[in-house]
Chains A and B, each alone.
Chain A
Amino acid sequence: MQKRDIGKPVFFADMLSSHHGMSTNYLTAKKGFLSWLFTVDHKRIGVMYFVSIALFFLVAGLFALLLRAELMQVRIPNATATSYMISADHYNEAFTFHGAIMVFLVIIPSVPATLGNFLLPLMIGAKDVAFPKLNLISFHLYIVGALFLVYTIAFGGLDTGWTFYTPYSTQTSTSVIAAVFGAFILGFASILTGVNFIVTVHKMRAPGMTWVRMPLFVWAIYATSVIQVLATPVVGVTLILVAIERLLGIGIFDSNLGGDPILFQNFFWFYSHPAVYIMILPGFGIISELVTTHSRKNIFGYKAVAISSIGIAVIGFFVWGHHMFTSGQSALASVFFSLLTYAVAVPTAIKVFSWVATLYKGSISFTTPMCYVFVFLFLFLIGGLTGIFLGALSTDVHLHNTYFVVAHFHYVMMGGTLIAWIGGIYHWWPKITGKKFNQTWGIISSIVVFIGFNLTFFPQFIMGSRGMPRRYYDYLPEYYSFHLLSSIGSFVLAVGLFIVLFNWLHSIFYGENESLANPWKGKSMEWTETAVVPIEHNFEKQPISTHGPYEFDELIKPIKAGGH
């Protein structure tokens, strides 16, 4: 931090004076648990989301290990619903919790709520989001919604799968009402965050920060927010209708009461397919930041990458029916959904090509974040390519609801979003915590995660295309060797993720203090205009944008007047 001059507002002078030139940053500005719980600082809210989401990631991951442990047991001929280490009912609850927690509490909020909250104002040169109190309310709603889901784990259970398909969900004796109410509240957290970010991007950009000077992460978060605002209300209403049907016996989805179960699937996927893009677009944004910074290159095709985010967000609203090719929906409707599905695949392909092309003639450092970019590109590519099998009408018939689908969405959601998230957390770790982390263990973690991930999920493609259905407690013995490999892989993956966790914890408690405000030599404002750890109101003075976010060549070139 530079020495303040006399002309600065009193506000900053107050903060600096008590520390003899050492600035108070957002972490040290206020003390005590309540100062965190009721903060309206977007950075602290982001950190609280991060801690909560990391915790739920651990819980949902442990459920996954339980499932994999059951599936690696040798199959017993003529097995019953209690033949293995856990009963079929407990297995069904375990996969429901794994899915519901991962989707609603981890992946959907992962990037927007943690890095989005922390970085969005910093990247566009604002002192906070547009509605800081609303931001805090979103976090509190998230916690309340999460508590409802935790309640169902402890009391009554939940065995519907995260998809809540009717009429099963209106007939089962488990705690569906508490769970859908929790998801409903989480939906509000998501909508309010979306509204907040949209307004922030429109109204709070620094002078000179034109739309085409925004970092691509901001574009991605913006596109995501639009989907959150438009799609989430639909699932909220749908889940409330399920609760009304259960409580009052009004026939909406249950055909015994005159309802239509396919209607539920239409409503559900009308949200949940766009939700896939809520999950992946912010991951794309992270990759755009990481790949440019660590290869010191401008992004290849800025406009194509930015506009493809919006394209994906818009077309993504019209492909929900590809989850229903075998559901009994009209065969003609399926044809249109298949065609539109391929339309959304094109902008995704463009992004992947652009990232790889960005590496061309770069100066690539093999840092931990960059290693996660390579892992992401490898895994997401497989996830994307296998999606082509599922978008085609006829091949989907054979693969629908098999492990092929399970493997596909894990490659996209975990191999895509969560890998990008981990890479992003590593990348912005010095800015968030003010600490260095251990690069060697960071790189080792990316390698172990990569090996474990592929060992877990690649065999699932093979068993799936050979006919192994998903959500199966028990299975034909011919699939045993695939399940065994997959389970071993899941333990390797768990080891890799625990290395990540320990690496972070080690950095917090024993890590060396970061001395540089811009250790990666980034060009966007969160690096160039803030202290090592940002102060409570982000910037000492209003920053002004004079150049694009990826002009790394200017490190050497003399700075051109008025940007470019």
Chain B
Amino acid sequence: MSGTAVQDTTWQGSFWLPQNISPMTGGQDNLFYFIYGLSVFFFIVVVGFMVYFAWKYRKKKEGERTTDIHGNTKLEIIWSVIPAILFIVIFAWGFLDWVKLNQPPQDSLEVKVIGRKWDWLFIDTKSGAETSDLIVPINTPVRLTMVSADVIHGFYVPDFRINRDVLPNQYTVLWFKAEKEGNYPILCTQYCGTKHSQMVRYVRVVSEPEYQKAMLAAQGAGLTPAQLGKKIFEGKGACASCHDVSKSKVRSVGPPLFGMYNEQQSIILANGKNETAKFDDNYIRESILNPNIRIVVGYPSVMPSYQGQFNDKELNALVEYIKSLK
């Protein structure tokens, strides 16, 4: 599975639930165990009666006479009303936690989240820094405003008990307050295609000074165009999730890019015709903005368009980076 952090695989948390790093949003653990207790109780009662009756009233001889019982109104009312009351309690409890989950504190740190096939991009609104892992300071409420660049994704951090769909053209919001340093996996919970299970990134909860340092480094001052291109390729653009850049030219969802620059390439047009094209600056630019006009033969037309997501400086940087792959 992809992802850059080394995951501690030892068993953390309780038997049923993982560790709870954001108790403010993770208040539902108590309700979980309340329902769990009730479930175990009712399970034992019902299965207990079932097994007891099955044994006690097993057929002892052929043609045995049974008692003619049609029901018992009092008993039936009792076993309708008791579950109904318990359900109302559970509903109300869930409702109270739900209100908390939907109300981020006023002083939250604001982070924009963009989901796309198949990676995440986080934009820290104070510094403008863009990162692929979500880096946040400890003990600070963080408010995520999320949108998708293509299909629906789901933003789920089990250790924070938060989970919400990330929609195209509409913002959804989540918040959390992490109380322990560490790396916590972010998993996609809305099926989004080939690498749905492999768009794993981490929430990195760090101390305030480390957070400041990370944001400065992520702003990308003083990089050459090719260096900036590499950063975009691996981060914001999520190009690396589908294109291999190593010398070994591994086939992935899209064609490998090593040594491609200025090569003649067999391509297929949108109307199905075959053609040869030079893999030059213009072809790269076109392939980023309108990827499905001229596709390298043998690959599916699945790449999303990046129209409106990169400015000219970023496009130049990407071209320079791909040029440098040799």
Binding site for B on A (CB under 8 A): 75, 77-81, 88-89, 92, 159-161, 165, 167-168, 171-173, 255-256, 261-262, 295-298, 300-304, 326-328, 331, 334-335, 338-339, 342-343, 345-346, 349-350, 352-354, 356-357, 359-366, 374, 377-378, 381-382, 385-386, 388-389, 391-398, 400-402, 462, 465-467, 469-478, 551-553, 555-556
Q: Is the CB of A92 within 8 A of B194?
A: yes
Task: Using CB atoms, name the residue of chain A closest to B11.
Answer: A478
Q: Is the CB of A326 within 8 A of B1?
A: no
Q: Is the CB of B167 within 8 A of A393?
A: no
Q: Is the CB of B165 within 8 A of A328?
A: yes
CA distance A75 to B300 in the complex (A): 27
Q: Is the CB of A302 within 8 A of B66?
A: no
Rounded to whole Å, the gap between the CB of A1 and the closest CB of chain B is 24
B224 in contact (CB, < 8 A): no
Q: Is the CB of B98 within 8 A of A92?
A: no
Could you pull out 7 A-B pairs where Cβ atoms are within 8 angstroms? A88-B198, A326-B165, A361-B57, A385-B43, A401-B189, A402-B189, A467-B158
- 6 nearest CB pairs, A to B: A467-B158, A392-B94, A394-B97, A393-B98, A255-B169, A394-B28
Task: Using CB atoms, name the residue of chain A closest to B90.
Answer: A392
B269 in contact (CB, < 8 A): no
Q: Which of B64, B195, B196 has the most A CB atoms < 10 Å from its CB?
A: B196
* CB neighbours of A92 from chain B (8 A): 191, 193-194, 196
When each residue 275-307 of chain B gets 1 if its CB lies under 8 Å from chain A and 0 otherwise, what string results? 000000000000000000000000011100000
B197 in contact (CB, < 8 A): yes
Listed stretches B78-86, B120-128, B206-214; interface member: B78-86
CA distance A365 to B167 in the complex (A): 55
B13 in contact (CB, < 8 A): yes
Binding site for A on B (CB under 8 A): 1-2, 7, 9, 11, 13, 15-18, 26-28, 31-32, 35-36, 38-39, 42-43, 46-47, 49-50, 53-54, 57-60, 63-72, 75-76, 79-80, 83-84, 87-88, 90-91, 93-95, 97-98, 101-102, 150-152, 154, 156, 158-159, 161-165, 167-170, 172, 185, 187-198, 200, 250, 252-253, 300-302
The contact of A301 among B17, B71, B196, by CB within 8 Å, is B71
* CB neighbours of A297 from chain B (8 A): 66-67, 69
Q: Is the CB of B187 within 8 A of A469?
A: yes
Q: Is the CB of A389 within 8 A of B169?
A: no
CA distance A551 to B196 in the complex (A): 56
Q: Is the CB of B167 within 8 A of A255?
A: yes
Knowing A378-B47, A397-B162, A477-B7, the reply to whether A296 touches B28 (Cβ < 8 A) is: no
Q: Is the CB of A361 within 8 A of B43?
A: no
* CB neighbours of A296 from chain B (8 A): 59, 64, 66
Q: Is the CB of B31 within 8 A of A395?
A: yes
Rounded to whole Å, the gap between the CB of B47 and the closest CB of chain A is 6
Known: A298-B69, A394-B93. 14 other contacts (CB 8 A): A173-B301, A255-B168, A255-B170, A296-B59, A296-B64, A302-B70, A363-B59, A374-B54, A382-B43, A386-B39, A392-B90, A401-B154, A476-B185, A555-B63
Knowing A168-B192, A466-B17, the reply to whether A326 touches B93 (Cβ < 8 A) is: no
Knowing A173-B300, A477-B7, the reply to whether A360 touches B57 (Cβ < 8 A) is: yes
* CB neighbours of B152 from chain A (8 A): 165, 167-168, 261
Rounded to whole Å, the gap between the CB of A187 and the closest CB of chain B is 23
Q: Which of A359, A374, A377 has the most B CB atoms < 10 Å from its CB?
A: A359
Q: Is the CB of A359 within 8 A of B50?
A: yes
Rounded to whole Å, the gap between the CB of A330 and the closest CB of chain B is 10
Rounded to whole Å, the gap between the CB of B115 and the closest CB of chain A is 13
Q: Is the CB of B198 within 8 A of A256?
A: no
Q: Is the CB of A364 within 8 A of B1?
A: no
Task: Using CB atoms, name the residue of chain B closest to A327.
Answer: B165
Rounded to whole Å, the gap between the CB of A505 and the closest CB of chain B is 29
CA distance A491 to B57 in the complex (A): 35
CA distance A296 to B267 in the complex (A): 74
Q: Is the CB of B66 within 8 A of A381?
A: no
* CB neighbours of A342 from chain B (8 A): 87-88, 90-91
Knowing A385-B43, A393-B98, A555-B63, the reply to whether A161 touches B162 (Cβ < 8 A) is: no
* CB neighbours of A161 from chain B (8 A): 191
CA distance A422 to B250 in the complex (A): 49
Task: Using CB atoms, name the residue of chain A closest to B7.
Answer: A476
Q: Is the CB of A359 within 8 A of B54?
A: yes
Rounded to whole Å, the gap between the CB of A443 and the closest CB of chain B is 14
Q: Is the CB of A362 within 8 A of B53?
A: yes
CA distance A553 to B68 in the complex (A): 6
* CB neighbours of B301 from chain A (8 A): 173
Task: Using CB atoms, name the residue of chain B closest to A346.
Answer: B84
Q: Is the CB of A349 within 8 A of B83?
A: yes
Q: Is the CB of B90 within 8 A of A363?
A: no
Knowing A356-B49, A394-B31, the reply to whether A475 touches B1 (Cβ < 8 A) is: yes
The contact of A385 among B11, B18, B39, by CB within 8 Å, is B39
Q: Is the CB of B28 within 8 A of A467?
A: no
Knowing A159-B193, A350-B76, A392-B31, the reply to whether A476 touches B87 (Cβ < 8 A) is: no
Task: Using CB atoms, name the residue of chain B closest to A296.
Answer: B66
CA distance A374 to B47 in the complex (A): 9
Q: Which of B158, B192, B195, B253 has the most A CB atoms < 10 Å from its CB?
A: B158
Task: Using CB atoms, name the residue of chain B closest to A329.
Answer: B165
CA distance A261 to B87 in the complex (A): 31
Rounded to whole Å, the gap between the CB of B22 and the closest CB of chain A is 11
Knowing A165-B191, A342-B88, the reply to whether A261 touches B167 (Cβ < 8 A) is: yes
* CB neighbours of A350 from chain B (8 A): 76, 79-80
Rounded to whole Å, the gap between the CB of B189 and the closest CB of chain A is 4
